[in-house]
A and B are shown apart, each in its own frame.
Chain A
Amino acid sequence: MQVNVGDAIPDWDMPRVAPERMRTMAAILRDPNPVHWDRKTVAKLGYGDRTINQGPLGLSYMVNMLHEWAGPYCIRRLVMRFPQVVLDEDHVIAQGVVTALREEDGQRLADCDIWLYFEGEGDRKGRLLEGTASIRLPAA
């Protein structure tokens, strides 16, 4: 696998953030916070009548992008921040770029900036989630 600094990671598209998946995820996470399944609660917080996607679900779209790029065992480290919320029905795209190449314990690693992009409405525009990833690269 030939990788260079500055390479863009192929996009991973989530055309519709589904509220029914948030409800399943709330049960799996044992997370009782109603912002993930009760639109009335979210409306009181000023986000309108759309539920808020769990942080790890937004992160998972970037994990899926990395897996499709470098394989299912590629992730060595992820550091994520959550500056903006993702809402149900959003169309978001996981994106990333290679920022450095290095070796660790004989393994080739690519350090990457990764983010979840949203075309936007109002203040929620651009990168909703962002972070860094260290990726194990297959042999060249």
Chain B
Amino acid sequence: MAMPDAAEIEALVGYEFPGGEYTVAHWENFLLTECTGAELLPGGMVHPVVMFHMPIIGANTSIGEMFALGQAESDFSIGIESYDWEFFAPILEEVTYAISARVTEADRRGDENRVFDRIQFQFDVAKADGELVARSTITWTYGRSGNAS
């Protein structure tokens, strides 16, 4: 697979996903929490691990689309640099949140041994009135093995 131009990757900065809404139903929180090995949290609080999928699905995108946006060579060419989750208020069951998302950083890195593109995505979870509830910043690396085009 041909390597995309570095300029093409850098041009991803500022890309906005469609955005949308997400409501965590009780059944979803129940099953999600059970998978973690914990008891349900009090007061209808959603387990914080929801920050992995809620922002992505709520922004009307997918892991596959994020791979494709950075022209991933395969699912296995993706490396996780970090997940950064910030919580400003609890996320609650059966409450509808507004999700917005964008690419905040994108550049080519590496040396003669390894070349990769580093892309950072930022997802905001907000109440209906716009108050920010949580933020997820995902940084992935896209390994490149092909020749520059």
Partners in one complex: yes
**Which residues of A does B touch, CB under 8 Å?**
14, 21, 24-25, 28-33, 45, 54-57, 59-61, 63-64, 67, 72-73, 75-82, 131
Q: Are A77 and B84 in contact (CB under 8 A)?
A: yes
Given known contacts A60-B38, A61-B36, A73-B45, A28 and B31 CB-to-CB distance under 8 angstroms: yes
Chain B residues lying within 8 Å of A57, measured Cβ to Cβ, are: 35-36, 49
Segment among B13-21, B74-82, B103-111, B114-122 that sits at the interface with chain A: B74-82
Closest residue of chain B to A74 (Cβ to Cβ) is B87
Q: Are A67 and B82 in contact (CB under 8 A)?
A: no
**Which residues of B does A touch, CB under 8 Å?**
28, 31-32, 34-38, 41-43, 45, 47-49, 52-53, 57, 62-64, 75-76, 80-87, 90
Given known contacts A63-B36, A81-B80, A33 and B45 CB-to-CB distance under 8 angstroms: no
Q: How far is the CA of A104 from the CA of B120 in the complex (A)?
A: 26
Q: Which of A45, A55, A76 contacts B83 (CB 8 A)?
A: A55
11 contacts between A and B (CB under 8 A): A28-B28, A28-B53, A29-B52, A32-B64, A55-B80, A57-B35, A60-B38, A72-B42, A72-B45, A76-B87, A79-B83
Chain A residues lying within 8 Å of B75, measured Cβ to Cβ, are: 33
Closest residue of chain A to B75 (Cβ to Cβ) is A33
